[in-house]
Structure 1
Amino acid sequence: MAAETKSFSRWQDWVVGVAGLYAALSPIWTEHGRGTTGTLIVFGVLLVLAALWSLAQPGAVSSEYVHTALGVLLFISPWVFGYAAYAGASWTSWVVGVIAAGLGLWAVPESTEVHRAAVGH
Structure 2
Amino acid sequence: MADVSARPWTRPHDWAEVVLGAVLALSPIWMDTDNAAMWTMIVLGALIALDGLVSLAMPGLIYGEGLQVVLGALAFISPWVMTYTELDGAAWTSWIVGALTVLAGAAALPVANSVHRTVRGH
The answer to whether the aligner puts 1:106 opposite 2:107 as a matched pair is yes
1:1-121 superposed matches below 5 A: 3=3, 4-121=5-122
Gaps in structure 2 of 5+ consecutive residues: none
What TM-score, normalized to structure 1? 0.96
C-alpha distance after superposition, 1:24-78 (max 9, x if no partner)? 1100111112411000000010011100110001111110001100000000000
Aligned mates of 2:44, 2:59 — CA distance in 1: 22
Aligned mates of 2:110, 2:18 — CA distance in 1: 19
Aligned mates of 2:107, 2:6 — CA distance in 1: 17
Aligned mates of 1:66, 1:34 — CA distance in 2: 25
Gaps in structure 1 of 5+ consecutive residues: none
Aligned mates of 1:31, 1:87 — CA distance in 2: 9
Bigger drift between 2-11 and 98-107 goes to: 2-11
State the AA in 2 paired with 1:113: S
CA RMSD of aligned residues (A): 1.0
Aligned mates of 2:89, 2:45 — CA distance in 1: 15
What TM-score, normalized to structure 2? 0.95
Tell me how many residue pairs correspond in the alignment.
120
Q: Quick check: 1:34–1:83 contact (8 Å CA) kept in 2? A: no
Q: Offset at 1:100? A: 0.7
Aligned mates of 1:19, 1:49 — CA distance in 2: 11
Q: Quick check: 1:5–1:58 contact (8 Å CA) kept in 2? A: yes
